[in-house]
Amino acid sequence: MRRALYILAIVLISACGSRNRNKSANAISARQEVSDALSAESAEDGDIEITVLESDDGNIRISGWEEPHSGTMGVYSSRIEYKWKGKTLTQGVIPNGAEESLMPMKLYTLGGGEYILYQYFREWSSQAYIEATALELTAEGLVPVKLFETEEGLADNINVEYNIPDWYFRAGSGEGYEWLYHFDKATKTLYHPSSPKYNHLSDRYIPYVWNGKTFSPGKEVANPFLHPSLSEYQSLVSLFRIERNLVRIDAMPDSTFRYEAWPKDATMLDKPELVIKGGTFNEDSSEWVFLNENFEYHCSGDELYILKSGAEIARWKKE
């Protein structure tokens, strides 16, 4: 049933690459444009956040928003404008309160009137669904088109469900949401999240490479935002910041753990300043422990502290 509703939503939606908040000029303008589509309560609610997406070729503009007070299951609405033969047309608005409509998040332009739309749906407080859908622009607006090569044949979308709290706490209080569906414009490669266990994202990805006609899947790869020297890991365990560092912990194929640290303002694409392999998890204290000569690094759910020759020399709370 969800899939049928998604198709209905997709036919009425589309989007692209720049996301702006409702306080920005574009979002304020979009808010005015879509105010007639909002319920009276929504139109008066100052907390509505409108996502504005525009295609690289300038032919598509999407305004999407979550209805206020929608509860644990997200209720989303959106409006699409498209250009066809010199005219700007409105494809439609997903009705307010429509069950299981999707929130447009990003749109990638392939060229030749074809696009990839990344959409989000919160099924309940702990469960989310994300989908990348292939679309083409026609006289009637955007319609799904089968561009993804899958084991079942060509499909118009690829998708994954995940546990929201699990990914939130492992991926740095939400930082990792920007990784989900990363599109490399230079190579026209879409990185689709891998989920080896039910609802558990590994922070590894299946690259779908655009060959001009379809997206062909490749072998699983590491996070594309991670330094190449760190590509060997099984799953992200934790990513967080402390006062002086960005810290990442990975589970390794041999059941040990790896500790990586960067200066706080660095990115994971930079070479880490410290890497410690062979870490273990202490079940009694619920800590990851890493040995580096005379130093012991202890990482719990809330803090990181360091011992030297058994004596504590530093302690930081996670930010």
What whole-number distance in Å separates Cα of residue 236 and Cα of residue 111? 34
What whole-number distance in Å separates Cα of residue 3 and Cα of residue 235? 29
Model confidence band, residue 34 (pLDDT cutoffs 50, 70, 90): low
Residue 24's pLDDT is 42
105: nearest Cα among 13, 5, 192? 13
Beta pairing class for 50-54 and 60-66: antiparallel
Beta pairing class for 114-124 and 103-111: antiparallel
Residue 10's pLDDT is 39
Residue 79's pLDDT is 85
What whole-number distance in Å separates Cα of residue 248 and Cα of residue 237? 8
The pLDDT of residue 29 is above 90: no
The pLDDT of residue 248 is above 90: yes
Q: Which residue has the higher pLDDT, 21 or 188?
A: 188
Model confidence band, residue 107 (pLDDT cutoffs 50, 70, 90): very high
Per the listing, tokens 């989900």 go with 180
What whole-number distance in Å separates Cα of residue 122 and Cα of residue 102? 9
The pLDDT of residue 92 is above 60: yes
Q: φ, ψ for residue 216 (rounded to 5)? A: -105, 125
Residue 43's pLDDT is 45
The pLDDT of residue 11 is above 60: no
CATH architecture of 228-317: Beta Barrel (2.40)
Residue 47's pLDDT is 64
Measure CA of the first residue to CA of the last residue in the chain; give whole Å: 41
Residue 78's pLDDT is 83
Using one digit for the tens of pLDDT, what is the confidence trace for 116-127?
999 999 988 999
Average pLDDT value for residue range 132-146: 93
What whole-number distance in Å separates Cα of residue 75 and Cα of residue 66? 6
Using one digit for the tens of pLDDT, what is the confidence trace for 178-232?
899 999 999 999 999 999 888 899 999 999 999 999 999 999 999 999 999 999 9
Model confidence band, residue 35 (pLDDT cutoffs 50, 70, 90): low
Using one digit for the tens of pLDDT, what is the confidence trace for 43-81?
445 567 889 999 999 999 988 888 777 778 888 888 899
The pLDDT of residue 33 is above 60: no
Q: Poorest-confidence range of 74-83, 127-136, 291-300?
A: 74-83
- Give ∠ CA 148-175-220 in degrees, rounded to 5: 35
What whole-number distance in Å separates Cα of residue 38 and Cα of residue 55? 24
Residue 289's pLDDT is 98
* Three-class secondary structure of residue 292 per DSSP: strand
266: nearest Cα among 292, 238, 247? 247
Residue 22's pLDDT is 36
Q: Is 163 exposed, middle or buried (0-12, 13-18, 19+ CB in 10 A)?
A: middle
Q: Which residue has the higher pLDDT, 95 or 143?
A: 143
Average pLDDT value for residue range 150-161: 96
Residue 46's pLDDT is 54
Q: What value does the mean pLDDT of the chain take? A: 85
Q: Write a three-state SS string for 220-281.
A: CEECCCCCHHHCCCCEEEEEEECCCEEEEEEECCCCCEEEEEEECCCCCCCCCCEEEEEEEE
Domain residue ranges of the chain, discontinuous segments joined by +: 2-222, 228-317
